[in-house]
Amino acid sequence: MKNNLLRISYSICKHNMSYLNFGNISAYDQKNNCIYIKGSGFDLDTLKHNQICKVNIIKNNLKTKIKPSVDLNIHKEIFLKFPKIKYIVHTHSIYLTIFSQLNLPIPCLGTTHADYFDKEIPVMRIIKKNELNEYEKNSGVIITNYLKKKNIDPISLPGVLLPFHGPFIWGESVNDIINKSIVMEKIAEMAYKMILFKNDLNKKRIAKIPKYLINYHYKRKNGPNKYYGQ
């Protein structure tokens, strides 16, 4: 598990997805009811084995002496509600964080987005003042309640934006979550620049991709009869 987290950590830093000690990564060992998560205050690009915490997800007791990431309880809520999820990445990547801080979802504006996600990347509701007593846990509850209320399989929508904060991205495998993290940031960058371009054109409407084209592109790469490859 720790080796997998180091691989994820170095990969997202290589692609400028995180800086210094911003963000965190975690893995869920379902068999032993344990979460492995980056220790608080450590840099992702130089992360070491002894800087990763092991936490029992049921007893909530530490198996290591270092303090886990402050966002532990966000990760915990997601892992407990969706057993398919094995890894979570929280980055502070530029464009995903811009959309988060603007409290805006990322619309599906083209086939690159549709190849990976058949819907917009949503932004969650703002946490309420009376929920701040358990800020991290309630942030996780907001994410899981959204997915359950919308009847969304988290594997088909492997990431959301927390308003004014940043993205939380999840996956079933190491390669899956590395790829999805990089793709989500690139999608956010393209959407951001398209919106700026629209404004430069005196607010002319951005052409809207037809829903049938979104569905086709998503299914040719992710559906039961998938055939896409580049």
The answer to whether 115 is a known catalytic residue is yes
C-alpha–C-alpha distance, residues 62 and 35, integer Å: 10
The answer to whether 116 is a known catalytic residue is no
Contact in structure between 9 and 89 (CB atoms under 8 Å)? no
C-alpha–C-alpha distance, residues 116 and 157, integer Å: 9
Q: Which DSSP string do the residues of 75-132 spell out, in sequence order?
A: HHHHHHH-TT--EEEE---HHHHHHHHTT--B---SHHHHHH-SS-B-BPPPPPGGGG
Q: Which of 71, 87, 95, 115 is catalytic?
A: 115
Please list the active-site residues.
115, 228
